[in-house]
């Protein structure tokens, strides 16, 4: 096995999805699995679907194409406002997209007409996070414009929380979103099929016993991948936190012992700082760096501390005398560390507990390579 690598336990992704799906099903809410942190990795996306996710959502067109190329036929929604320059491809590979700009929606509609398709539009409403979204008082007008636009169909409305401003969704905000769905239906007629209430940060609200109203969808990434509530960082009951493990290799161990960093000026302080353990700390180097991941987002195994990182080196102080050149070290990652590591070309992705071959075959569908034979 080559290093560095990410080990992905797909059975844990399936399990975590099942738990979230079960929690939300009881509240009348379906789960759309968000794959952006794993760059649309098809096997991870498949594990989310196997765990009961109703569909997938992606932020980037390139990741959607990757999913389609792997044979995924499920509905995929683009959750980042589409780029005007990408509308043709978006209509081709996504059933629907989240929209906030009428110029983009009009271009999607024109692209859909050219392709003899109807593209689904979900209007994103600003509810306090101050990232993307239409102001609530403009929603009715814009919804009517979408309804009148051939080539697109108004599929729903959505909101996003706790991304840019860290504003957590409250019961009042969720109720306001429900009311907006009713208002839009009153103003322009069509049934609003999807009311997507937000992301993993909505789970405490969704499972907290509040009325869920019209909210029938949540877009969940982080909670499935990490088994935690992203706002508090607390583990969600029964979920795995360690579906992903980063493995990196030691390339230097015995060159330097680390001495306490104290100035020469104050010898009293120096004496006080000289705790016996410190002399046992060795500085080691691993072959991974900023170019591969977010070094500060790696959780150090007990007995190890992060000293620093550069583009290609991770420097750790360790008490583990057994570590030698060629040893592997294993780390849990933060969301940011995972996101970068999944996109890093030098990191191998190693899948564990994939589905049995017979089922895996069906997943990939009639592959293009078969048609060549
Ligand atoms: C990233 C994102 C999500 C998923 O967020 P998680 O915290 O990973 O659950 C949902 N909706 C939008 C619009 C996003 O950008």
Residue 227 CA to ligand 1 center (angstroms) comes to 15
- Which of 160, 167, 231 for mutating ligand 1's site (highest number of atoms within 8 Å of CB)? 160
Residue 219 CA to ligand 1 center (angstroms) comes to 6
Closest CA relative to residue 78, chosen from 42, 136, 121:
121
pLDDT in tens, 84-100: 999 999 999 999 999 99
Lining residues, ligand 1, CB within 6 Å: 34, 36, 59, 79, 160, 199-200, 219-223, 230
- The angle that helices 136-147 and 102-114 make with each other, rounded to 10 degrees, is 20
What is the rounded average pLDDT of the residues 178-183?
Answer: 96
pLDDT-derived band of residue 190, with 50, 70 and 90 as boundaries? confident
Nearest residue CA, atom 3 of ligand 1?
A: 199
Strand partners, 76: 56
Strands 96-99 and 76-78, sheet pairing:
parallel
Q: What is the DSSP string of 129-196?
A: S-SS-B-HHHHHHHHHHHHTSTTEEEEEEEE--SSSS-----HHHHHHHHHHHHHHHHHH-S---EEE
- C-beta atoms surrounding 259 within 10 Å: 13
Nearest residue CA, atom 12 of ligand 1?
A: 79
Residue 20 CA to ligand 1 center (angstroms) comes to 15
For the CA of 124, the closest atom of ligand 1 is: 13
pLDDT, position 361:
47
- Which of 20, 34, 63 for mutating ligand 1's site (highest number of atoms within 8 Å of CB)? 34
For the CA of 230, the closest atom of ligand 1 is: 7
pLDDT, position 270:
42
Whole-angstrom Cα distance, residue 333 to residue 311?
18
pLDDT, position 279:
62
Range in 195-209, 240-254, 274-288, 354-368 the model is least confident about: 354-368
Predicted TM-score (pTM) of this structure = 0.90
Residue 226 CA to ligand 1 center (angstroms) comes to 13
What is the rounded average pLDDT of the residues 209-216?
Answer: 94
User: Which percentage of the chain shows pLDDT scores above 90?
Assistant: 79
Closest CA relative to residue 127, chosen from 182, 175, 94:
175
Whole-angstrom Cα distance, residue 271 to residue 279?
13
Residue 187 CA to ligand 1 center (angstroms) comes to 29
Range in 113-122, 157-166, 222-231, 320-329 the model is least confident about: 157-166
Residue 338 CA to ligand 1 center (angstroms) comes to 15
Instruction: Report whether 257 contacts 247 (CB < 8 A).
Output: no
> CA distances (Å), 152 to each of 54, 121, 190, in order?
22, 6, 13
pLDDT in tens, 26-54: 999 999 999 999 999 999 999 999 999 99
Residue 198 CA to ligand 1 center (angstroms) comes to 7
Whole-angstrom Cα distance, residue 183 to residue 269?
68
Which domains does the chain possess?
9-226 (3.20.20.10), 244-333 (no CATH)
């Amino acid at each position: 096995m080559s290093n560095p690598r990410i080990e992905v336990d797909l059975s844990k992704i399936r399990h975590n999805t099942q738990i979230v799906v079960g929690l939300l099903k009881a509240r009348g809410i379906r789960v759309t699995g968000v794959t952006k942190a794993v760059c649309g990795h098809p096997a991870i996306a498949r594990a989310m679907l196997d765990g009961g996710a109703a569909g997938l959502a992606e932020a980037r067109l390139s990741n959607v194409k990757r999913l389609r190329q792997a044979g995924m036929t499920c509905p995929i929604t683009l959750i980042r406002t589409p780029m005007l320059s990408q509308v043709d491809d978006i209509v081709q590979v996504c059933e629907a997209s989240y929209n906030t700009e009428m110029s983009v929606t009009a271009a999607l509609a024109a692209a859909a007409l050219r392709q003899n398709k109807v593209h689904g539009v979900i209007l994103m409403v600003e509810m306090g996070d101050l990232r993307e979204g239409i102001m609530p008082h403009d929603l009715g007008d814009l919804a009517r414009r979408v309804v009148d636009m051939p080539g697109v169909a108004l599929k729903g409305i959505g909101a996003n929380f706790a991304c840019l401003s860290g504003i957590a969704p409250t019961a009042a905000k969720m109720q306001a979103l429900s009311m907006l769905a009713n208002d839009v239906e009153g103003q322009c007629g069509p049934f609003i099929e999807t009311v997507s209430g937000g992301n993993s940060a909505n789970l405490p609200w969704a499972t907290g016993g509040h009325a869920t109203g019209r909210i029938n969808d949540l877009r969940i990434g982080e909670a499935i991948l990490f088994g935690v509530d992203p706002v508090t960082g607390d583990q969600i009951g029964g979920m795995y936190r360690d579906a992903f493990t980063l493995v990196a290799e030691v390339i230097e161990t015995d060159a330097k012992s680390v001495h306490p960093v104290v100035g020469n000026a104050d010898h009293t302080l120096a004496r006080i700082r000289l705790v016996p353990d410190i002399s046992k700390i060795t500085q080691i180097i691993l072959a991974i760096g900023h170019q591969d991941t977010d070094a500060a987002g790696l959780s150090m195994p007990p007995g190890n501390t992060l000293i620093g990182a550069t583009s290609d080196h991770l420097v750790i102080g360790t008490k583990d005398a057994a570590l030698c050149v060629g040893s592997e070290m294993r780390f849990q990652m933060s969301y940011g560390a995972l996101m970068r590591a999944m996109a890093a070309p030098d990191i191998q992705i190693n899948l564990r507990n994939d589905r049995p071959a017979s089922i895996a075959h069906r997943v990939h569908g009639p592959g293009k390579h078969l048609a060549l034979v």
